[in-house]
């Protein structure tokens, strides 16, 4: 039984006094679904526990990195061991080298890599690098893709911006706007038109190879390769933002799964085992432009932090050693997606389920969701009710229609069935409304 979230309500009342909107990242505020955000005090395995001692099956997994479940023992032990040697040095460590070697081993397109502290830092730096390398200013991004909160990306942005209905943030200068070109996801002709009308001006094309930030949206067959070809032909750097998909959709991320070699890749929290880490990497020739080996400046005291590196190494080493994790995630993802489709059909609802590996979304629309326009046809009010129905039944979804869900290896068949039952019961109760 889920108790009334009295302690979360109290905590939120206090939070709004000191933190804008009461949260440190907008989607968490539950604004698009209504109600009070749950304040989480701990998590273990597949479960989150809130301040009122309610336990939920977690389908966010800290937005991706908890692929092995929360407080995974090898990661926890690595952190415990690392903190005995202090928390930060602002000087190089052998762990950073080990991490860099491991990433280049798992992702062959990444020949050199620079650690940073978040996905946002990774994407901002990758774009600066692309501009430095090509001597061009403009970039192409896709409507509804989210690459963190760097100025250049807050144009037609997905994730929280889309959930709050403000995909273009104020505070972005006209020159930034001018340099960011946007195309609809999965639309090749639009990209060709942008490239043709800005010949020799485009430094980079950045994409979420599978979008997680307008809900889960898959690339059409051949789309990622067609973009690769255009980029090669036009001297544009092809950047895969794998903050969500890296080491999740395959040991080598979406690029392994779809057989694409991007020029640059951005990575996030999974390489810190859930701690605040990001990285950008790619071809040696490009990465050697980064200071101090080259002139493109980027720096950070906490970059390559020893605790975060220890956590990430434990996580990535485990994933490398246990490829069966990916088979299990694949099976669970398919099982849940099929179960949801069956349930939706039985109830005569006609909603859309998108899924790839351990990422999925149930969209409250009968439309095939392939881009920003089709994602926006979803009935977000219905989704809000569904969200709360699931919460009441002990399942914690992303509090937005426009965020993918992430499965962990701790979701076994029994828990998958629990999720499906909760979903069926919630959808059935909504149909009666």
27 sits near ligand HOZ (criterion: CB under 6 A): yes
Q: Which range of residues in 20-28, 222-230, 264-272, 378-386 is near ligand HOZ by CB under 6 A?
A: 20-28
- Give me the least distance between CB of 24 and ligand HOZ, in Å please: 8
- Give me the least distance between CB of 30 and ligand HOZ, in Å please: 11
Instruction: Give the Cα separation of 293 and 281 in Å (integer).
Output: 14
| Element at 241 (helix H, strand E) | strand 237-241
Of 352 and 400, CB closest to ligand HOZ: 400
Q: Which two three-digit tokens encode residue 302?
A: 């906490």
Q: Which range of residues in 12-20, 24-32, 169-177, 361-369 is near ligand HOZ by CB under 6 A?
A: 24-32
Q: What DSSP designation does 257 have?
A: H
Task: Kindly identify the residues of this chain, within the stretch 400-429, that bind ligand HOZ according to CB under 6 A.
Answer: 403
| 3-class state of residue 149 by DSSP | coil
Instruction: Give the Cα separation of 176 and 170 in Å (integer).
Output: 12
**360: annotated active-site residue:** no
Q: Report phi then psi at 127, rounded to 5.
A: -70, -40
Which candidate in 31, 141, 269, 376 is catalytic? 269
Q: Give the relative orientation of helices 306-321 and 94-106 as an angle to the nearest 10 degrees.
A: 30
In the complex, residue closest to ligand HOZ by CB? 25
Which residue from 288, 249, 276, 304 is spatially nearest to 100, judged by alpha carbons? 304
| Residues 375 and 217: beta-carbon distance below 8 Å | yes
Length, in residues, of the chain: 433
Binding mask 321-340 for ligand HOZ (x = CB under 6 A): --------------------
Of 343 and 408, CB closest to ligand HOZ: 408
Instruction: Give the Cα separation of 117 and 75 in Å (integer).
Output: 18
Task: Kindly identify the residues of this chain, within the stretch 345-404, that bind ligand HOZ according to CB under 6 A.
Answer: 403
| 3-class state of residue 362 by DSSP | strand
- Of 8, 12, 22, 28, which one interacts with ligand HOZ (CB under 6 A)? 28
Which candidate in 58, 179, 241, 371 is catalytic? 241
Cis upstream peptide for 292 (omega within 30°) = yes
Of 131 and 269, CB closest to ligand HOZ: 269
Which residue from 365, 387, 384, 383 is spatially nearest to 374, judged by alpha carbons? 365
Of 100 and 244, CB closest to ligand HOZ: 244
Q: Report phi then psi at 380, rounded to 5.
A: -75, -25
- Give me the least distance between CB of 27 and ligand HOZ, in Å please: 5
Q: How many residues bind ligand HOZ (CB under 6 A)?
A: 9
63 sits near ligand HOZ (criterion: CB under 6 A): yes
In 122-201, beta strands by DSSP E: 138-142, 180-183
Instruction: Give the Cα separation of 88 and 68 in Å (integer).
Output: 26
Q: Which range of residues in 21-29, 193-201, 318-326, 406-414 is near ligand HOZ by CB under 6 A?
A: 21-29
Which residue from 352, 362, 354, 404 is spatially nearest to 385, judged by alpha carbons? 362
Of 69 and 212, CB closest to ligand HOZ: 212
First to last CA, the chain: 23
Rg (Cα) of the chain, in Å, rounded?
A: 21
- Give me the least distance between CB of 165 and ligand HOZ, in Å please: 15
Of 110 and 211, CB closest to ligand HOZ: 211
Q: Which range of residues in 25-33, 219-227, 350-358, 406-414 is near ligand HOZ by CB under 6 A?
A: 25-33
- Give me the least distance between CB of 332 and ligand HOZ, in Å please: 21
**241: annotated active-site residue:** yes
213 sits near ligand HOZ (criterion: CB under 6 A): yes
**269: annotated active-site residue:** yes
Beta bridge partners of 328: none
Task: Kindly identify the residues of this chain, within the stretch 119-178, that bind ligand HOZ according to CB under 6 A.
Answer: 146, 159-160
**Residues with catalytic roles:** 146, 241, 269
Binding site for ligand HOZ (CB under 6 A): 25, 27-28, 63, 146, 159-160, 213, 403
């Amino acid at each position: 039984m889920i108790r009334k979230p009295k302690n979360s309500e109290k905590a939120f009342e206090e939070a709004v006094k000191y933190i804008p909107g009461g949260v440190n990242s907008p989607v968490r505020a539950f604004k698009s679904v209504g109600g009070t955000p749950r304040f989480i005090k701990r998590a273990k395995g597949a479960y989150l526990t809130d301040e009122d001692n309610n336990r939920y099956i977690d389908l966010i997994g800290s937005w991706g990195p908890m692929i092995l479940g929360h407080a995974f023992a090898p990661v926890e032990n690595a952190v415990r061991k690392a903190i005995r040697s202090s928390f930060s040095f602002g000087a190089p460590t052998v762990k950073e080298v080990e991490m860099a070697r491991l990433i280049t081993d798992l992702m062959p397109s990444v020949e050199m890599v620079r650690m940073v502290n978040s996905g946002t830092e990774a994407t901002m730096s990758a774009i600066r690098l692309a501009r430095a390398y090509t001597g061009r200013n403009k970039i192409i991004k896709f409507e509804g893709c989210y690459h963190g909160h760097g100025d250049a990306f807050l144009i037609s942005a997905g994730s929280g911006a889309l959930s709050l209905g403000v995909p273009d943030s104020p505070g972005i200068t006209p020159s930034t706007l001018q340099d960011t070109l946007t195309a609809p996801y999965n639309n090749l002709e639009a990209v060709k038109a942008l490239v043709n009308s800005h010949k020799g001006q485009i430094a980079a094309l950045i994409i979420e190879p599978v979008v997680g930030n307008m809900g889960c949206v898959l690339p059409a067959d051949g789309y990622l390769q067609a973009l690769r070809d255009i980029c090669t032909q036009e001297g544009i750097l092809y950047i895969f933002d794998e903050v969500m998909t890296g080491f999740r959709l395959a040991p080598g991320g979406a690029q392994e799964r779809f057989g694409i070699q991007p020029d640059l890749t951005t990575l996030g929290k999974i390489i810190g085992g859930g701690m605040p880490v990001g990285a950008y990497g790619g071809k040696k020739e490009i990465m050697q432009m980064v200071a101090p080996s080259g002139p493109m400046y980027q720096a950070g005291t906490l970059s390559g932090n020893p605790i975060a590196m220890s956590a990430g190494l434990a996580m990535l080493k485990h994933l490398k050693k246990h490829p069966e994790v990916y088979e299990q995630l694949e099976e669970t993802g398919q099982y849940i997606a099929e179960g949801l489709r069956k349930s939706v059909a039985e109830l005569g609802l006609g909603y859309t389920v998108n899924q790839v590996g351990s990422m999925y979304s149930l969209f409250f629309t009968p439309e095939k969701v392939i881009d920003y326009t089709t994602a926006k046809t979803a009935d977000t009010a219905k989704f809000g009710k569904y969200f709360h129905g699931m919460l009441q039944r002990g399942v914690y979804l992303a509090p937005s229609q426009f965020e993918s869900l992430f499965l962990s290896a701790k979701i076994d068949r029994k828990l998958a069935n629990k999720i499906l039952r909760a979903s069926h019961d919630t959808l059935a109760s909504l149909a009666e409304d």
